[in-house]
Amino acid sequence: MFRRRGQRMFRGGRQDVPPVLQRANQLMASGEYEEAASLFADLGQRAEDRFPHRAPFLFIEAGRAAILGGQIKTGIAHLRRGLTLFASQGRMHRMRMVGERAIDELQTRGLNAEADEIAALLGANTPAVDLVEKEAPAPMKKPVLPTHCPSCGAAVRPNEVEWLDEVTAECAYCGSPLR
């Protein structure tokens, strides 16, 4: 399914990406949100044990898809699960960045009570400011990345990727190198 963190391989930019992940991203792109949400949630559940660093992203995307498909309560539950996984993994900077984006998207859709719920979750799981600032990456000028992963089709958010070196980032969903 996904590679483990220590097993990064550069094989011409394409890797063994699960077809179900590609399908879920295709469904998101075509506006079939309910089916995409189901696939992302299933992928997240399967990734929790074997690939825990990928699971939060999958649950966050399941939440986005469910909300876009009109399943607000289910979507918020997936968002909460993804953010809680970030916190339990000690990835506070990532939790904060992704959580703030989720809050902005919820407020844009007029879901202010849900945005407040996510903000409260972030507040309850955010350590002291000095710990968060130590974890934050130093601001550097990075190269332009593609808008979507060429392997799995997931949207690439440059401020949320993990950089492998000065010119290569890693897809948060499938682990493929992005150049």
Domains of the chain by range and CATH?
19-136 (1.25.40), 137-179 (no CATH)
Residue 26, pLDDT score: 94
User: What local confidence, expressed as pLDDT, does residue 134 receive?
Assistant: 45
Position 11 scores a pLDDT of 40
So what's the pLDDT on residue 2?
Answer: 47
The angle that helices 92-108 and 72-88 make with each other, rounded to 10 degrees, is 160
Which residue(s) pair with 177 in the sheet?
170
Q: What is the pLDDT of residue 132?
A: 45
CA-to-CA dists, residue 11 to 52, 65, 94, 112, 151, angstroms:
23, 31, 27, 44, 11
Beta strands in 16-161 (DSSP E): none
SS3 of 133, please?
A: helix
pLDDT in tens, the chain (179 residues): 444 444 444 444 445 788 999 999 999 999 999 999 999 999 999 999 888 999 999 999 999 999 999 999 999 999 999 999 999 999 898 899 999 999 999 999 999 999 999 999 998 887 655 444 444 454 556 678 888 889 888 888 887 788 888 888 888 888 888 88
Phi, psi angle pair for 73, to nearest 5°: -60, -45
- Which pLDDT value is given to residue 151? 87
Tokens linked to 40: 């992302």
Tokens of 122: 């972030």
**Residue 83: per-residue pLDDT:** 95
The DSSP line for 122-172 is: HHHH---HHHHHHHSPPP---PPPPSB-TTT-PBP-GGGSEESSSS-EE-T
Crossing angle of the two packed helices 33-50 and 55-68, in degrees rounded to 10: 160
For 177, phi and psi rounded to 5 degrees?
Answer: -70, 140
Q: What is the pLDDT of residue 101?
A: 93
pLDDT (0 to 100) of residue 142: 67
